[in-house]
Amino acid sequence: MSTVEDLYLGVIKAGIARHPRSLQKRIGPSEIGNPCDRQILHKLNGDNEPNRGPAWKPAVGTAVHDQLERWFDAANRGGGDVDRMEWVTEWQVTVGQILGVDITGHSDLFHVPTGTVIDHKIVGPSQLTKYRLHGPSQVYRVQAHLYATGFTRDGGWGPAKHVAIAFLPRDGELDKTVFWTEPYDPHIAAQAMVRANRLATLLAVVGIDAALAASPLCDDQWCMWCRTEKRQQHRAAGGSLFLDIGELAVVPEPTAAPAPLRALEQPAVAPIPIRPDVAVTCQACGLPLHPSVAAGGFTTHPTCPDPKTSAARPIPSTPQPAAPINLFDR
Q: Across-strand partners of 85?
A: none
* 167 within 8 A of 128, measured Cβ to Cβ: yes
CB 107 within 8 A of CB 101: no
Which residue, among 157, 156, 154, has the nearest Cα to 113 in the 3D structure? 157
**Residues whose CB is less than 8 angstroms from the CB of residue 177 and which lie 6 or more positions away in sequence, other chains included:** 166, 167, 168, 169
Residues of the chain short of pLDDT 50, as ranges, are 1, 244-251, 272, 274, 276-279, 330
* CB 77, CB 88: distance < 8 Å: no
Identify the DSSP state of 176: G
Element (H, E) at 178: strand 178-183
CB atoms inside a 10 Å sphere around CB 182: 15
**Res 258: pLDDT:** 57
The DSSP H or E segment spanning 108 is strand 101-111
* CA dist., res. 22 & res. 25, Å (int): 8
- Of 90, 92, 114, the C-alpha closest to 104 is 92
Task: Please report which residue ranges of the chain form alpha helices under DSSP H.
Answer: 4-18, 20-23, 29-32, 37-44, 56-75, 125-134, 138-154, 186-206, 208-213, 224-236, 291-295
Selected from 3.75.10.10, 3.30.70.1350, 3.90.320.10, 3.40.50.1820, the CATH number assigned to the domain covering 18-238 reads: 3.90.320.10
Give pLDDT tens digits for 133-166.
Answer: 999 999 999 999 999 999 999 877 889 999 999 9
Distances (CA, A) of 170 to 47, 62, 107, 128: 30, 12, 20, 9
- For 21, 154, 158, 315, the CA distances from 80, given in Å and listed in that order, are 29, 21, 18, 115
- Bridging pattern class, strands 116-123 and 162-169: parallel
Cβ-in-10-Å burial (0-12, 13-18, 19+) of 283 comes to middle
108: nearest Cα among 96, 95, 116, 120 = 120
pLDDT at 253: 54
Residue 222: count other Cβ atoms within 10 Å of its Cβ. 9
Rounded Cα distance, 67 and 109, in Å: 13
Domain ranges of the chain: 18-238, 277-304
Nearest Cα to Cα of residue 119 among 140, 92, 95: 140
- According to the model, what pLDDT value does residue 325 have? 54
pLDDT at 74: 92
Q: Name the residue type at position 105.
A: G
pLDDT in tens, 289-327: 777 767 767 777 777 777 666 555 555 555 555 555 555
Could you give the 3-state DSSP secondary structure of residue 291?
Answer: helix
Where is 165: in which H helix or E strand?
strand 162-169
The β-bridge partners of 162 are 116, 183
Decide the pairing of beta strands 101-111 and 178-183: unpaired
